[in-house]
Amino acid sequence: MQQNTFRLGDIQPGRNPRKYFDPVKMAEMVESVRQQGIIQPVLVRPLENGSHELVAGERRVRAAREAHGDDYEVPVVIRVMDEFEARSLALIENIQRDDMAPSEEAVSAAEIVGLCQGDRDEAARQLGWNRAMLDSRLALMNCSASVLEALNTRSIKLGHAELFAAFTKDQQDKLLPVVVKEGHSVADLKKVLERAACALSAAIFDKVDCAGCQHNSAAQAEMFGESIGTGSCTNRTCYNEKTEKQLEATATGLRDEYQTVRIVRPGDNHTRIQLVADGPKGVGSEQAKACYACQNFGAAVSGLPDSLGNVYKGQCFDTVCNMKKVAARIKSEKATEPATAKAATATGASKAVAPARNDKPGAAAPEATAVSESERVKAYRVALWRKALRRDIGANQELVRQYLIAIVATGQARCISETAFRAFWERLLDDKPPVSSFGKAADAAKAATPLAQENLIVAMLASAIEGVDVPYLTEMCRHHKLDLTKYWKLDKAFLDLITKSEMKVMADELGIRAAMGDDFKKVFAKSKPEVIEALLSVKDFDYDGKVLKVLKF
């Protein structure tokens, strides 16, 4: 990081989240800069084209431009950072200033939640807020543009905006002019919300039980039939509970198909993006194939008033990674443009074919092309390696001694699992090992039979295999040339860890699809438990000797 001065006109504008600049305060700053200049440097970052982009200090730059023009030499601090670091820093720098409008705080906070992959606790920590304040600000993200603008210009209070957020955007735009013109209080708007928020016509849950319910506002007049469509629920707690259950039921139904399924709430605007291969936001066809198997690929269920219960498939829940992949694709295409243009000229090509677009929200996503290495699959795989290695070595006393010596020689003796070894001791000697007395432990070992002593040495190695870290365990498996085909066969425990889409990839790899023939498609139209049962009971299929690539070391 270094300090310098740049001509104001040579600094490229950044992505300042602040939209509203108080005219009085800006006038005061312009006058201050006119008299004293800029004392505190602004923060910029170098770009690939040699120019510099503003990261923090937008108000100072605006004031200096008005007071002195583009030729003014402004003090700068240059810091090398990528686009995402710059965006995060700009957001946090602005949001921590006490004169930022709540609506602008909401927009900035939502972006930071996106940069944190939807982790609201981490976003709150970065912002220096408590979780309640973060959630309160993020709720404003469901406000319509006109409501946010009214909040920016202080035409309505924060309490109004927080209530507006519970309405659909159409309802907000109809109510806003009335609230502003007639000066309705927050309490007035709350009464309107209580009457309108639980309309049964908009409910996504089964309303059969609502027909004769005492909390149905239409029930007093008509207890059955069309009255349901025009009534409202006066028991908001019950209404919200039923809505949440329906949202969760919808999400549960998608979890057999996708690695990640989330119910998205107000403020989750930047936590997901439609994954597409082509177009301005495309990651490229090859990268897209890899993305389909990623743990951050899946579906979103809307918990927003305007789209309550809607399902959006083919979503990427790591927007930072997605943006980087898009940038990499664009950079790669630019690098190949000269060669492509030259080839086109040489062959007389005159017309380029536009790439296909697949960025329609909610479009069905392509199926997985690999079994993803989720945390659950990784844990299953490592447990398999440890178990197989213990069994393969345990019967060979010579190997046990050699490997135990190697483990101690490479500083891994500390990794011997005390819990595992004590369990082996208790099983072999039918007694608990002494906890702190060396003498008692030595006497107990001496009293053990030669066979029991040999088994305790095997137990030491087994305990070491249980305790070493994964890279060291992988090295042991490779050195030993461990044959997993002797210890693994497709089972329900593994199939429970993956989606139905990934099961198709697995079935191709093991040859199950070919063995099932025409029945394969019919089976996958069924529920996940039925698919698992069918995959484990294919007639005349030999499951032995087949190990998936995702389980190998």
HEC secondary structure over 337-365? HHHHHHHHHHCCCCCCCCCCCCCCCCCCC
pLDDT digits (tens, 9 = 90+) for 11-61: 888 766 566 666 777 888 888 888 888 888 988 898 878 889 898 888 888
The verdict on 90 and 217 lying in the same domain is no
B/e letters for 225-242, b = 16+ CB within 10 Å, e = fewer, are eebbeebbbbeeeebeeb
What confidence score (pLDDT) does residue 487 get? 95
Q: How confident is the model at residue 394 (pLDDT cuts 50, 70, 90)?
A: confident
Of the candidates 197, 192, 22, the residue with the CA atom closest to the CA atom of residue 104: 22
Q: Quote the CA–CA distance of 113 and 119 in Å, as a whole number.
A: 6
The verdict on 286 and 396 lying in the same domain is no
Q: What is the mean pLDDT of residues 214-242?
A: 66
* Within a domain: 419: no
DSSP of 381-404, one letter per residue? HHHHHHHHHHHHHHT-HHHHHHHH
Given 234, 250, 284, the domain boundary residue is 234
In this model, does residue 352 exceed pLDDT 60? Answer: no
The verdict on 301 and 376 lying in the same domain is no
CATH code of the domain containing 72: 3.90.1530.30
The verdict on 395 and 482 lying in the same domain is yes
What confidence score (pLDDT) does residue 1 get? 54
Q: Nearest 5 degrees, angle CA 326-CA 328-CA 329?
A: 65
* Within a domain: 217: yes
Cβ atoms of 245 and 205 closer than 8 Å: yes
* Within a domain: 142: no
Structural domain span for residue 220: 199-234
pLDDT: which is higher, 216 or 467: 467
**Overall domain count for the chain:** 4
**Radius of gyration of the CA atoms of the chain, in A:** 32
* Within a domain: 403: yes
Of the candidates 385, 369, 547, the residue with the CA atom closest to the CA atom of residue 474: 385
pTM of the model: 0.61
Tokens of 102: 């709540």
The verdict on 230 and 315 lying in the same domain is no
What confidence score (pLDDT) does residue 265 get? 93
Q: What is the mean pLDDT of residues 516-529?
A: 91
Q: Quote the CA–CA distance of 252 and 530 in Å, as a whole number.
A: 16
In this model, does residue 354 exceed pLDDT 70? Answer: no
pLDDT digits (tens, 9 = 90+) for 422-449: 888 888 888 888 877 899 889 988 998 9
Given 68, 100, 132, the domain boundary residue is 100
pLDDT digits (tens, 9 = 90+) for 451-473: 989 889 999 999 999 999 999 99
What confidence score (pLDDT) does residue 98 get? 52
Q: What stretches of 140-220 show up as alpha helix (H) in DSSP?
A: 145-152, 158-164, 169-182, 186-196
The verdict on 390 and 318 lying in the same domain is no
Tally of CB atoms within 10 A around 216:
24
In this model, does residue 144 exceed pLDDT 60? Answer: yes
